[in-house]
Amino acid sequence: MRTALRCLAALLAALSLPAAARGGACSTAAGASCGDRDPVACPDGCAAAAGLVCNVKSKMCITPGQLKAPCVEGDPVAACGEGFTCHPHVNECLPNPRAKGQPCLPAKPKTHGCAAGMTCHPQWFRCYPDPPEEGDPCDSKCAPGLSCDLTIRRCVKLAKLGASCHAYGQPCQAGLECDTGLGECYHNPRLVNEPCGRVLNATCSPELICLEGFTNVCAQVPKALDACSAVLPCPPPLECEPNLRQCVSKPRALQEPCGNDAPCNASFICDTALLQCVKPPKQGDACHAGRPCSPGLECDPTLKRCFGAPRQEGDPCTVAEGAADPCGAGLKCDRRTTGRCQGPGQIGQPAWPGRPCRERLSPNAIGRCADSPRGSGDFCGLGEQCGLGLQCHPTTKRCVAFSPERNPCFTLPTGEELKCTAPFQCFPGIQLCYHIPGDKNDNCVPGEGSAWPCRVGTQVPISCHAEYPYCI
């Protein structure tokens, strides 16, 4: 009895030791029974380094399958990893739930179903969005902006202008309709360059015309000077000019071709050089023999421009020397300088050889018209004479009046003077105009025989103070 107890105790002690200590080993081959556990080498009894895991149900070591890895449903040796299931007919590991386009089984939604927002197509047995997107299989419904083309059983975009369409699930975009004869999308009524005609039973928009029998498309109704033909007639009152094949008026309007047999209307003239109706040239407009000026104007033969007859001030005058002056009354042609009709220069205006000053004026030293002799404020430098009662200011070179009493006066080193009006004289040093003898409070020079004494014979005697040079 004691011997049996000792054997049992030894067995229990051996079982409590680690696998390495008791001589156990990890299973290293798929299909082998799960071996002894080791916290590092084989936590579940199968060698982690070999990529094995222990199948809890079969207690066998397996290699877990990943996406599309070969597998056999129910076979623990060829099972799929976590998050995957083995499709029983494809024999591949697939995600659970399935993604778009992956095989699914409607009868097994828990293990072979589709992700949220998708459904398992009953014929294709694959997962697709619900509603289907562009290119996805469909039976009737599709995502917004798409249509189920029943000929190919696919969701397609709505057809654009000129794109193919049909009545079996390939409709046109909003605003278009499917021309069943052409199998293409167009507007109704048709717009520019869209097919039209009785054969197609398609009419153009009211402002357009159908070029039926020619290009069979809608075109703009021709306007003046637009191209025209038998199939593209001009709208009344225009008519198609047979040689130029352009729509023109009758009589002809602005910029339309003209000639002896095609006169312009009363508002225009026919330019015989351009053979085109133009507006009659106005003042300053271009002109020539075939484009005469408006009434009251004449064409300058040199400038080829219209001007009044006679010319106005500022108008060009290019008549040859010796010919009659074309300028109006009071004007003269400045042939030398400006080549324009000029009036005589007024006071203060520039003067030059081709533009003299008016009567009784003459150019001053700076080339401006001034009185002769010069008036108040006129330039008077370079020896020009000022008028009566005026003098030439030594520094401003303008004609000014003689200085009255108590106003400035002086003499420059050059001898030029700013003089006082009579009977006043310039008090030296003070440079103001005073009369001699001085009145009360005027400056004076004390002393007998002074050149600047004070006035005598007044009711109140005054004299030049010896210490204060004023008459007091």
Poorest-pLDDT segment among 54-68, 124-138, 306-320:
54-68
**How are the residues of the chain apportioned to helix, strand and coil, as percentages rounded to the nearest 5?**
5, 30, 65
Contact 225, 256 (CB under 8 A): yes
Residue type, 173: Q
Which residue is it, tokens 């069979």? 216
Statement: residue 10 has pLDDT above 50? no
Amino acid 3: pLDDT? 45
Going by pLDDT thresholds of 50, 70 and 90, the confidence category of residue 106 is: very high
Degrees to nearest 5, angle at CA 118 with 115 and 122: 115
Who has greater pLDDT, 166 or 64?
Answer: 166
What whole-number percentage of the chain has pLDDT above 90? Answer: 49
Statement: residue 138 has pLDDT above 80? yes
Residue type, 307: F
Q: How many angstroms separate the CA atoms of 43 and 29, rounded?
A: 15
- The answer to pTM > 0.75 is no
Statement: residue 13 has pLDDT above 60? no
Q: How many angstroms separate the CA atoms of 15 and 248, rounded?
A: 117
- What would the mean pLDDT of 309-331 be, rounded to a whole number? 84
Q: How many angstroms separate the CA atoms of 214 and 231, rounded?
A: 7
User: H or E stretch including 12?
Assistant: helix 2-15
Which residue is it, tokens 């409070």? 441
The one-character DSSP state at 327 is B
CA distance readout (Å), 164 to 80, 112, 142, 157, 158: 47, 39, 19, 11, 10
Amino acid 11: pLDDT? 37
The one-character DSSP state at 42 is B
**301-316: pLDDT as tens digits:** 888 999 988 899 889 8
**268-282: pLDDT as tens digits:** 999 999 999 999 999
Domain spans of the chain? 344-401
Cα maximum dimension of the chain: 182
- What would the mean pLDDT of 43-60 be, rounded to a whole number? 78
Who has greater pLDDT, 60 or 34?
Answer: 34
**343-397: pLDDT as tens digits:** 998 888 888 877 888 888 888 878 888 888 888 888 887 777 888 999 999 999 8
Statement: residue 17 has pLDDT above 50? no
- What would the mean pLDDT of 218-222 be, rounded to a whole number? 93
